[in-house]
Amino acid sequence: MVTEKAGKIKIVTQAGVISNALTGVPAVNPADQGGLLGICLDPAFATNRMIYWAFSEVVAGGNITAVAKGRISDNDTAIENATVIYRSNTPNNSTLHYGGRVLFDKTGNLFVSIGERSVLETRPLAQAANSSLGKIVRITTNGQAAPGNPVFSQTGALPELYTIGHRNPQGLALHPTTGELWQSEHGPRGGDEINRITAGANYGWPTITYGIEYSGAKVGEGIQQQTGMEQPVYYWDPVVSPSGMTFYAGNRVPEWQNNLFIGALSGMHIVRLAFKDNKVAGEERLLAGEGQRFRDITQGKDEALYAVTDQGRLYKIDKKQK
Contact of 96 with 32, CB cutoff 8 Å: yes
Backbone angles phi, psi at 66, to 5 degrees: -125, 160
Residue 108: half-sphere exposure toward Cβ, Cα within 13 Å: 6
Q: How far is CA 247 from CA 106, 186, 197, 241, in A?
A: 15, 19, 15, 18
Question: What residues contact residue 321 under an 8 Å CB cut-off, 6+ apart?
Answer: none
CA separation for the pair 131, 152 (Å, rounded): 12
Separation of alpha carbons 27 and 43, rounded Å: 26
CA distance 306 to 287: 12
Distances 86 to 140, 181, 210 between C-alpha atoms, Å: 10, 21, 32
Catalytic residue flag (residue 97): yes
Residue of 97, 166, 186, 269 marked catalytic: 97
Q: Cα–Cα distance between 90 and 18 in angstroms, integer?
A: 36
Q: Which residues pair with 3 in a beta bridge?
A: 9
Q: How far is CA 293 from CA 5, 146, 244, 272, in A?
A: 14, 34, 11, 15
Q: Is the four-CA dihedral 264, 291, 275, 103 of positive or negative sign?
A: positive
Q: How far is CA 121 from CA 163, 197, 272, 299, 316, in A?
A: 21, 26, 35, 38, 41
- By annotation, the residues acting in catalysis are 97
